[in-house]
Structure 1
Amino acid sequence: MTEKLTPREARQGERGMPVLKILIVALVLAMIAWAVSGMFGEATDPENPVGETTTEQDATGETGPTQAPTVQ
């Protein structure tokens, strides 16, 4: 024969602090992952990306903006 359960006993999970703890831990882990990926992105960022204007000296010794070489 089946056992009668109260509504509280039949629930799969409890409300309140356990759920809040899981949400806070997940948020903290997401912020840590974001910070790590940001530091990694800054560390691997090239100094002169392709297409960015750079300043170089020409044969006369004057400096001026030049366009970075592009592949065609």
Structure 2
Amino acid sequence: MTQSEHNETNELIQWLSPEGLEKHSEIKQSTQAKYRMENKIPFYKIGKFIRYNKAEIDQWIASHKMGANNG
């Protein structure tokens, strides 16, 4: 992959901070921390920063669907 292709791929990824995830999904930051410790939520640790890939989170949330139409 060339640097240009790599940059284009990164531009397509929408990253969320813990604060952003809380706004996006209403999952409290304390719950996020618990889920990270238990390896229950997809996340990335870059240095001291925690980041979530929005598409992966949306897929993770959809995989937890409950009810009559859950597949």
Q: Same fold (TM over 0.5)?
A: no
Higher-RCO chain (CA-CA 8 Å, sequence separation at least 6): 2
Normalised to the residue count of structure 2, the TM-score between the two structures is: 0.27
Q: Considering only CA atoms, is the larger Rg found in Structure 1 or Structure 2?
A: 1
Normalised to the residue count of structure 1, the TM-score between the two structures is: 0.26
